[in-house]
């Protein structure tokens, strides 16, 4: 049987109108290892999540999970960043896809995730909220080929990001010239290798500022910055506030 596009659209509309609320298509994402799905309303309240995301945050069921916000589930600096991103997507009414970004896992260790977010639009063209998927980038790397050939450098950075790292040495690990390596790296992450390293250090700095009594100078030294002044400059570029301002605004 062949039907034209108008008939197909009518069938599609009928199907979606008749679907029970208990039929949650997004539960299919549980069949993809390491993949999380979420949906939020305009205020950032989580109203849907698949099993993987629910368990990631330590909840037993979706019913327990919904109604919460990122500010209840994540460190404040991350919650604020994700809220800014969500608001920008809803305002532009355009998706942001395949973003590779840093996230602190449940043990407080920096890890990279691939995120795609779409605005949720109603039949009458109103923005209702946002939905998205999140995939552990390391898991993604294990499943798909390293097309750019930079994984040896990434593994080294994740082990040694607190230390001084030579970008030329990273290029040599991957058997590329410095220019080739920097171009391939930026095409993957939309960041230079040095920016990537700095972002990892800043996000760990946030965790140290939240959960310890180390001085800002000691944190700068621990994370491989030349001095407290250079640390403060880089922190402010990433977080829009100084380390001291960040520490003071913590509850």
For the segment 117-175, what is each residue's pLDDT rounded down to a tens digit? 999 999 889 999 999 998 876 655 555 456 678 888 988 998 899 999 999 999 999 99
Identify the pLDDT of residue 108. 47
Give yes or no for a contact between 173 and 153, defined as CB atoms under 8 angstroms apart.
yes
Give yes or no for a contact between 195 and 231, defined as CB atoms under 8 angstroms apart.
no
Predicted TM-score of the model (pTM): 0.62
Q: Which residues contact 141 (CB under 8 A, 6 or more apart)?
A: 151, 154
The pLDDT of residue 200 is above 60: yes
What whole-number distance in Å separates Cα of residue 233 and Cα of residue 242?
Answer: 8
pLDDT tens for each residue of 222-234: 999 989 999 999 9
Q: Which residues contact 105 (CB under 8 A, 6 or more apart)?
A: 111
Domains of the chain and any CATH numbers: 15-140 (3.30.450.20), 146-248 (1.10.10.60)
pLDDT tens for each residue of 4-18: 788 888 888 888 778
- 10 Å CB burial of residue 85 (0-12, 13-18, 19+) is middle
The pLDDT of residue 203 is above 50: yes
Mean of the per-residue pLDDT values of the chain: 84
What whole-number distance in Å separates Cα of residue 96 and Cα of residue 88?
Answer: 10
Identify the pLDDT of residue 233. 94
Percent of the chain at pLDDT exceeding 90: 39
Question: For the chain, what is the radius of gyration of the CA atoms?
Answer: 21
Sheet holding 35-41, edge to edge: 46-49, 35-41, 127-136, 110-121, 96-104
**Three-state secondary-structure class, residue 95:** coil
pLDDT tens for each residue of 63-102: 999 999 998 887 777 788 889 999 999 999 999 987 776 6
Query: Which range in 52-56, 57-61, 130-134 is most confidently predicted, on average pLDDT?
Result: 130-134
């Amino acid at each position: 049987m062949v039907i034209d596009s108008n008939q197909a659209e009518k069938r599609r509309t009928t199907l979606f109108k008749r679907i029970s609320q208990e039929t949650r298509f997004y539960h299919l994402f549980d069949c993809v290892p390491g993949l999380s799905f979420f949906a939020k309303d305009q205020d950032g309240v989580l109203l849907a999540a698949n099993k993987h995301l629910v368990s990631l945050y330590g909840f037993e069921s979706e019913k327990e999970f919904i109604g919460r916000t990122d500010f209840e589930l994540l460190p404040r600096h991350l919650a604020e960043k994700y809220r800014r991103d969500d608001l920008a997507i809803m305002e532009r009414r355009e998706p942001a896809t395949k973003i590779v970004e840093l996230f602190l896992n449940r043990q407080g260790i920096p890890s990279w995730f691939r995120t795609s977010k779409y605005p949720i639009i109603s039949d009458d063209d109103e923005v209702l909220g946002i939905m998205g998927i999140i995939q552990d980038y390391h898991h993604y790397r294990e499943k798909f080929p390293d097309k750019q050939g930079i994984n040896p450098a990434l593994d080294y950075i994740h082990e040694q990001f607190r230390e001084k790292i030579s970008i030329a040495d990273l290029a040599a690990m991957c058997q590329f010239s410095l220019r080739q390596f920097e171009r391939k790296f930026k095409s993957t992450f939309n960041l230079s290798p040095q920016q990537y390293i700095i972002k990892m250090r800043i996000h760990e700095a946030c965790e140290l500022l939240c959960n310890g009594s180390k001085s800002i100078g000691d944190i700068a030294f621990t994370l491989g910055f030349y001095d407290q002044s250079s640390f403060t400059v880089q922190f402010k570029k990433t977080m829009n506030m100084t380390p001291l301002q960040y520490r003071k605004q913590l509850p």
